[in-house]
Structure 1
């Protein structure tokens, strides 16, 4: 099976993007899982946090499905959605399109750059819910806002929300990365509390309407960035750290930075604005039965990678 693909990233959350509409064969559910396990492997595969599959849609311009590196499918992926947004926008020659995701049809568009020279795309992150049943999370109350989770840790509070994938977010003055990894691993081995696992983020306020976020991503582990986690963290920063709604909140991480605009009109929703960088393009010839593949020479997007390096260096400096 010969598969053209684009390797790209949103905030250094890297993906293999495959346009299924251009393949000679239709992929099965099992083939999508097997491709994710084979190609995302960072030691023996191409290496990535997941695969973005672009499909046709009867509801929108295109459909996105995202599979993690462990073969599981995510309900939503904000960083990945920006890559799909760029691809579909450039293909359609429109500035704004709709993308079908597992939970909703979402508007995406090209917007003003958040860093000079870095093309920027805005994606809608919704639906947002604080009802623990939407994660799901086993809890005595209907919501879990700024609460201790005894099965997880003591003396630290979390807020649970779905966006629509599940997140718990803790706002801290300082933290150790090793502690985030420990709690993230533990949270994803607590089926009595989080039956489907959960994404765990630590948030450090930097200045008003500026935060630094690091995430343990369900199905992946520690990541440089997670789009829905940055969106969830921006909402929690409004609730807990006094940041503003209807105003861009700069969210920085090891992978770079984005801007999140939290809207509160009845329910919450978030605009996530950030890069959609193409690292390179290539083709891969895959034999799923033998779990092997051969890759063609790569066409590298050197200039846009260099520009993103400048953005990443700036964002890292703000998190120290």
Structure 2
């Protein structure tokens, strides 16, 4: 099949995005397409693939997101901003309700986060602290700053689903090797954690800034994970590190978002939805093989505008 796509990113979390409103792929075919297009050694690459799909009675349009291993996520908030932008263009709107796999989210095109950076505000939730939602078998009803004996090490975690499941721990300095060890323990889908989980190590940098580093389920270490930034913001409020209702900066390897968690467990992120280039490629789903990519258009000004933001964050 000939696949036309936009290579895009939200806060450095990168994806090929397809308009699949008229597609009729099976879940197995979607998984194959994700493994082909999102493979880092392949012709496109990404942390997964995004699809603009039809909505339902409560939404203008929908979103599906498949990780690079072919598994489908409940949501991806960095990816949601990119799908929202595509949906806004398709329907000629600036605000919408979006259907996700197991929930809905509100999105709106808002003022630029920085000059030349297309910005979307997204509100998702309510975040849940119920361990039965994952499930985490054998755990108490909630885990808030508590040890998880089955994980490597002795750190305390807060368990949040939004609706992706996240273990969040607050530490002084992030050690990637330690994060990978914990992430891989979850990625193995042990009996007590059958649906796996994302793991985030978070540095609190003052009263209004967090730095988040995430091992993402189905992907591994990522430059950024939107639901992890939302879950970390909510966890920071639940544990008293940040005030509910306070807008903060959440930094990551790929850039940053502005975030706010409310007492009703809804979390709003303001972040970029950046187009990098548009292309098309012929994909053999049965063989999970792609041909040569044809680049149709580049968005160099958008790429440069976001690069300026990312460089400023790193400084």
TM-score (norm 1): 0.94
Unaligned runs of 5+ in 1: none
In the TM superposition, 1:171-190 aligns within 5 A as: 171-189=170-188
Aligned counterpart, 2:10: 10
Cα pair 1:118 1:275 within 8 Å, conserved: yes
Residue 108 of structure 1: aligned partner: 107
Structure 2, unaligned stretches of length 5 or more?
none
Q: Does 1:278 align with 2:285?
A: no
Q: After superposition, give the CA deviation of every residue in 1:229-284 in whole Å (9 maximum; x if it has no partner).
A: 0000001111235212222111000000001111113xx11011100000100111
Aligned partners of 2:218 and 2:189: how far apart in 1? 14
Report the RMSD for the aligned CA atoms in angstroms.
Answer: 1.4
Q: What secondary structure does 2:86 align onto?
A: helix
289, 309, 312: which one pairs with 2:310?
312
Rounded Cα–Cα distance in structure 2 between residues aligned with 1:220 and 1:306: 26
Deviation at 1:182, TM superposition (A): 1.3
Distance 1:212 1:113 in 2: 22
Tell me, in whole angstroms, the C-alpha distance in 1 between the residues paired with 2:288 and 2:217: 25
CA contact (8 A) 1:20 1:27 kept: no
Query: How many Å separate the matches in 2 of 1:290 and 1:190?
Result: 27
Alpha-carbon distance between aligned partners in 1 of 2:287 and 2:231, rounded to the nearest angstrom: 40
Partner residue, 2:164: 165
**Contact residue 135 and residue 161 of structure 1 kept, 8 A:** no
Per the normalisation by structure 2, the TM-score is 0.95
Aligned to 2:266: 269
1:138 and 2:137 matched: yes
Q: Distance in 1 between the 2:283 and 2:55 partners? A: 26
How far does residue 195 in structure 1 lie from its aligned partner after superposition? 1.1
Matching residue within 255, 272, 291 for 2:288? 291
How far apart, in 1, do the equivalents of 2:164 and 2:62 lie? 17
Structure-1 residue corresponding to 2:149: 150
Structure 2 Cα separation of the partners of residues 95 and 254 of structure 1: 29
Is 1:62–1:88's contact at 8 Å kept on the other side of the alignment? yes
Asked whether the 8 Å contact 2:97–2:107 carries over to 1, the reply is yes
